[in-house]
Every structure is written in structure tokens, then in C-alpha cells.
Chain A
Amino acid sequence: MTKPKAGWTHKTFMLLLMVYLLLPLAATFLYGFAKQWQTTVLPEGWTLEWVREMFRDARFLDALWTSLYLCAISVALSLAVMLPAVFVITVYLPKWETFMKGLVVLPYAVPGVVAAVGLIRAYSSGPLDLSGTAYLLIGAYFVVILPYMYQGIRNSLITVSAVELLNSAELLGASRSRAFLTVILPNIWPGVIISTLLSFSVLFGEFVLTNMLVGGHLQTIQVYLYRRVGESGHLASAIAITYFLFILLLSTALMKLGKKMNGVAGR
């Protein structure tokens, strides 16, 4: 008797949670296609006007593209630096892990506004005048995703017992770099893909740092959305939904890619 009852509670809870999470999204979606929505529960009429207007605005696609390549460059840079670094620290220099653990929580400890003001002051004059440029933003993005990349890569390495795999490979005659490429990388790849994906989503949604660092100079999708909210709620909803769908498609594609690689790895 207790089991069906527990199932019922469970289901209700899940349903409430889904409603809580999806209702704002559904409302935004409806609002983006509504002609009139004032005093009724559901909109009185539908229109594609907002979506059309959005796509007519060249700045929208520009902003989307700017965001996309800035995030992609930042994540790629982070991957290129962090993958070898975390590997070396986890496998050969475990003593440094305490230091790294301290380092990766710093982005959480410093509020975005404080970090932005600090960065602007540090780079607005002197030898490196980067204020308002994409370089400064990429640098800041690198720091923002540091915790995700570090934890993700480190956990993957520990899950596959990288040290033992490496020892085995070396005893069988592989050089360190060859061992890394043949037995470590293929096994941690699925985990690394997930971290990359997560980092990308985080950056794509980041607003505070982006707006403060490059808001006046570079139109990213976040900054663009912020500008248009004041003009029309309908238009802003249409942009938000498109932005959301874009991330959804991107995530699904990357997930599929990750699964496919998993399949190759024979799991």
C-alpha cells in the first residue's frame, strides 16, 4: 500500500517542479506570438509580427553571431589550457591540488560587478589598454568557466583511474604523450564534452560581466536583449525564446556528439 502512495507523492512533486520551471518559459513563448494579451487568461489573437521584426533587425543576427564566436573562442582557449594543465596536476603534481581548489572557487567568491570594475580599472590604462575590447571579455570568460572546466576534467580523470592507466601504458612501452593520446584522452572525452557544454551555456547566459565590460562597444546577444526589453515586451519575448531555442539546439547537438563518442569508446 505504501508504494503506490509514495509514487503518487513523487509524481505530484515532479509535476509541481516542472510547472514551476516551465511556466515562465511557456508564458514568454506565448507572449512572443501574442497580438493582444491584456485582461484574458490566454492571448486574444496571434501574430508572427514580433518574430518577423526580430529577424528584420540585422543587429539581432549580428549579436547572436558575436556571442557565439566569443563564447566558442573562450571555451576553446580554456579547453586548450586546462586539459593539459589539469592532467599534469592530477597525475604528476597532486600536491598542487590544494592550490588549484582554492583558485577555482575565486570566481564564485568575487561578485561579477566587483570583478568587472576591477578588470576595467586594471586594463583601461597602462601597458595593456584592453578596455571595451573582445580580448578583455575573452579573458574574463576564461576565469568565469575555470571552475566548471577544472572540476569536470579532474572528475573524469579520477573516474577512469588515469594514474593507473598511465602506469600500465608506460610499463607497456608507451611514452607519456603517447599514453595520454591513446588511453587517457579517449576515456575522459565524454566528461570533457559535458564540461565544455556546461561552460558554453554558462557563458551564453552571462550578462553582468558582459554588459559592464563591453556593453558600449560590442553588441552580444545578452546586451542586445537588454536594450530591446524597454522597447517592446513582445519583441523581447520573441528574442528570449529564439535565444533559448538556439541554446537548446546547440546543447542537443553537443550531447549527441558526446554520446556518439561514448559509443565509439564502447560503453
Chain B
Amino acid sequence: MPYLELKGIRKTFGNAAVLNGVDLAIREGELVTLLGPSGCGKSTLLRVIAGLTDPDEGSVFLGDRNIVALPPRQREVGMVFQSYALFPNLTVGENVEYGLKMRGAGKEERRRRRDDLLALVDLEEKRDAYPQHLSGGQQQRVALARSLAVQPKVLLLDEPLSALDAKIRKNLRMQIRDIQKRIGMTTVFVTHDQEEALTVSDRICVMNGGSIVQEGSPEEIYAKPRTEFVARFMGSYNVLSRMEAARLFGDGIGTAESYALRPESAKLLPAGDADSGKGEKAGGRIVDARIEAVSVLGNVLRYSVSAAGVPLTIDRLNDGHPLREGTSGAVRLALDPSQLLQLEKEGA
């Protein structure tokens, strides 16, 4: 039985439908990410769980209790905001204690919980500092400790890392995931960053236009995007029309209207070397191609190539022997038809 379950959540603001009957079930201790571009309804869905936005229709079950009509303070749900929303008039320690105080916990218990949680987020020495004297990353850790202090049943994270710079973001997301696993906290994480979603989640729900368009483990979502939207959103997938796919792979590619090809699934080979195609999987195809541009992404080289008139992005491990554009930029491309994914129509 799911721990947190959303059933048929609908919400419209004015004439715009923000959520179109969303269903979602989350197991205890699971970290589920709502991933999508801005305006897809992911934050609204989170606010519906928190009770900050009332849905027009639908129910929210926590355990076996429908909490959809309860005010936020009775839901036992913790939330961390993108803007931290720490109380500037209180010290770090008082911020963490705030929820316990509101619930009437005794002084002893409050102090003990406060010290435990500040230790958990590694900020014991900042106990008596005011939030505005902390860095963004530290403030967000305080916000995390504050929401965990009251032992919520579900933790909601609304783009918690988006206001931070890249290095701290990567660090903190591993820290959040670590803490979440350690205390087994059921968590819903909202983000627009696919890399973030892939690294922290047990399960990802890709959202678009107020619906969940695909749901699955990070591996599934990355390797098998179901629609063109997911393929494009998950990164550098080559999305091909039926005609383009046929030009590269020949006939027998199935019946879909559009196809996806991962940039690392095709291999670049030097031109003119007739034997280099050997050893490829049976059924593999070799196509003549021309390199248009190369960019270095660190451990990966990203080539923009044109193969049979189809523009493709191809990634190649940066092994110290980069394949340079020759005088004509001519190369050959080894394609594996089993790597070509058929995409469903949007909304299917």
C-alpha cells in the first residue's frame, strides 16, 4: 500500500488548467522527483500536498487518512523552499526549534532535537548566528533541519538547490540524498534540472502541461524516453523524424512518427578505413558523415555531424586521441539499430 497517494488532482487558475487529474503513489522512504519545465505544474502539485494550494478536485491520502481538507499545520508535512524562508528575527537554533515550540514541546526536548538536527546538517557551530550571516548553502541546510525537526511524515523540497551556485548545488544534493536515506524520509523533490533528478531520485515523474507524462527509475527515464518531450527534456537526445531515421537506418525501423537516438550510442570512425567497421554488432550500419563542429565537455567530446544530410549530435569519450575534422571533415558513423528508440505521440 502506498504511503502517500494523490488521486485525480485537478487545479485551474482562471482559465488555465495547471493540473489535469494527476495520480501519484509514493512508497514509504522513497524519494520521488517531479521533473519538468517551468509552468508544468510540478510546484503546484507540491503545494497541494502541503496544503498551501487547494485543488479543485482530487484527494491526498497520507497513510489511510485523506488530508486534502486539512490546513497545512495539521498535515505533518515538512517543506523546504527555494528561497529558504528562514525567519530573520530568530537565530539558527531558534529557527530549528520553532516547529517544536509551536507544537508545545518542552525545553529539554527542543534543545535535544535542535542539537541533533544541527549535527545532522553539520552546522552545530552556527547555532547562535542569524540566518542572514550564513551562506546560501548553509541557510538551505538550516531550512532542511528546521523542517525535519518536527518529524514530518513527508518532506517536500521545492527546487531547494536552484538558488545556489553549481559547486554547492552538487555537494548539497548528495548531502540531502544521504540524509534522506539515513533517516528513511519519504520525500518529494521538485526540480527542473534533469541531471539533479537523475542523481538523487529513486523514481522520477516527468511532468508536462499539468500531467505526468512518464514515470520510472532514473535508468528507465534516461534510457527509454517514451515521448519526444521526454527525450528532448532529458538532455542531448537526437530526435529524428521518420524520414530522417529511415535515411540513417534503412527500412524496418518500425511504425513510429519520431525516433530518439542517444548521442553516445553511435560510434565515429575515421574515413576510408574499410576494416574499421568489422567487429561491430551484426546488423550494424556504417554511414558516411561529415564533422561540422567539436566542443569539449571535459571527459566527453561532443561532435556535431551531418550523416546522410541528417544533423546529429554524437558524444565520444575524451580518450586523448580526439578525432579531428580532416580537410573535408569526412568520417564514418557506425550505427546500431537496436539503439534507435521509437517515440509515442505526445499525450498518448
- B3 contacts A by Cβ under 8 Å: no
Q: Is the CB of A167 within 8 A of B52?
A: yes
A219 to B88 Cα, complex, angstroms: 46
Q: Is the CB of B146 within 8 A of A167?
A: no
Contact flag A174-B102 (CB < 8 Å), given A167-B72, A266-B88? yes
- B103 contacts A by Cβ under 8 Å: yes
Q: Is the CB of A186 within 8 A of B89?
A: yes
Q: Is the CB of A183 within 8 A of B87?
A: yes
Segment with Cβ contacts to A, from B73-81, B197-205, B235-243, B296-304: B73-81
Considering only residues 113-153 of chain A, those with a C-beta below 8 Å from chain B are none
Q: Is the CB of B98 within 8 A of A169?
A: yes
B139 CB to nearest chain A CB (Å)? 12
- A253 contacts B by Cβ under 8 Å: no
Q: Is the CB of A187 within 8 A of B102?
A: no
Considering only residues 168-182 of chain A, those with a C-beta below 8 Å from chain B are 168-175, 178, 182
Residues of B within 8 A of A172 (CB): 73, 78, 98-99, 102, 146-147, 150
A169 to B89 Cα, complex, angstroms: 13
Q: Contact partner of A173 among B50, B51, B89, B103, CB < 8 A?
A: B103
A165 to B87 Cα, complex, angstroms: 7
Residues of B within 8 A of A164 (CB): 81, 83, 85
Q: Is the CB of A265 within 8 A of B89?
A: yes
- A160 contacts B by Cβ under 8 Å: yes
Q: Contact partner of B91 among A171, A183, A186, A266, CB < 8 A?
A: A266
Residues of A within 8 A of B87 (CB): 165, 168-169, 182-183, 187
Residues of B within 8 A of A266 (CB): 88-89, 91, 130, 132
Number of residues from A at the complex interface, CB < 8 A? 21
Q: Is the CB of A165 within 8 A of B85?
A: yes
Residues of B within 8 A of A174 (CB): 73, 98, 102
Residues of A within 8 A of B103 (CB): 173
Residues of A within 8 A of B2 (CB): none
A236 CB to nearest chain B CB (Å)? 47
Q: Contact partner of B147 among A161, A171, A267, CB < 8 A?
A: A171
Residues of B within 8 A of A175 (CB): 73
Q: Is the CB of B85 within 8 A of A167?
A: yes
Size band of the B side of the interface? 20 to 34
Q: Is the CB of B88 within 8 A of A160?
A: yes
Contact flag A170-B73 (CB < 8 Å), given A161-B83, A164-B81, A178-B102? yes
Q: Is the CB of A187 within 8 A of B77?
A: no
- B71 contacts A by Cβ under 8 Å: yes
Q: Is the CB of A267 within 8 A of B132?
A: yes
Q: In this complex, which of B77, B78, B87, B90 has the most chain A Cβ atoms within 10 angstroms of its Cβ?
A: B87
A175 to B73 Cα, complex, angstroms: 7
A165 to B90 Cα, complex, angstroms: 12
Q: Is the CB of A171 within 8 A of B89?
A: no
A167 to B46 Cα, complex, angstroms: 13
Residues of A within 8 A of B79 (CB): 167-168, 171
Residues of B within 8 A of A161 (CB): 83, 85
Contact flag A173-B99 (CB < 8 Å), given A164-B81, A168-B79, A168-B81? yes
Q: In this complex, which of A172, A173, A186 has the most chain B Cβ atoms within 10 angstroms of its Cβ?
A: A172
A267 to B91 Cα, complex, angstroms: 11
Residues of B within 8 A of A182 (CB): 87, 98
A182 to B87 Cα, complex, angstroms: 9
Residues of B within 8 A of A173 (CB): 73, 99, 102-103, 150
B221 CB to nearest chain A CB (Å)? 29
Residues of B within 8 A of A178 (CB): 102
A170 to B75 Cα, complex, angstroms: 10
Q: Is the CB of B71 within 8 A of A170?
A: yes
Considering only residues 89-144 of chain B, those with a C-beta below 8 Å from chain A are 89-91, 98-99, 102-103, 130, 132
In the assembled complex, 7 residue pairs joining A and B whose CB atoms fall closer than 8 Å, in A order, are A167-B79, A168-B146, A170-B52, A171-B75, A172-B98, A266-B88, A266-B89
Q: What 9 additional pairs, Cβ within 8 angstroms, besides A168-B79, A187-B87, A265-B89?
A: A164-B83, A167-B72, A169-B87, A170-B72, A171-B51, A171-B52, A173-B150, A174-B102, A183-B89
What are the 5 tightest A-B residue pairs by CB atom distance, in nearest-first order?
Answer: A172-B99, A173-B102, A186-B89, A164-B85, A266-B130
